[in-house]
């Protein structure tokens, strides 16, 4: 899914984190509405972004950058 969303102009993507409801709980109960799992590492996601001609930005919200 992420591979195809880049061309639509998304500006934010998480990698290496759990974004589904209850993602950090120990429960085995499925809480998702639809499959959002992407088991790739942040480095793998960054490589995919670069392969599609985009530049991954890890942090662009710091006040120092203003």
Sequential pLDDT tens for the chain (66 residues): 778 888 888 877 777 766 666 666 665 555 555 566 778 888 998 999 999 999 988 876 777 766
Please state the pTM of the whole predicted model: 0.55
Cβ-Cβ contacts under 8 Å for 58 (sequence gap 6 or more): none
The confidence score (pLDDT) of residue 19 equals 62
Tell me, what's the pLDDT at 62? Answer: 73
Give 14: exposed, middle or buried? Use CB within 10 Å, 0-12, 13-18, 19+.
Answer: exposed
pLDDT at 36: 66
Instruction: Let me know the angle formed at the C-alpha of 41 by 24 and 50, rounded to the nearest 5 degrees.
Output: 135
């Amino acid at each position: 899914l992420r591979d195809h969303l880049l061309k639509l102009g998304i500006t934010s993507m998480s990698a290496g984190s759990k974004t589904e409801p209850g993602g950090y709980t120990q429960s085995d109960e499925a809480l998702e509405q639809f499959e959002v799992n992407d088991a790739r590492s942040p480095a793998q996601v960054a490589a995919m972004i670069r392969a599609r001609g985009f530049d991954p930005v890890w942090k662009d919200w710091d006040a120092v950058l203003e």
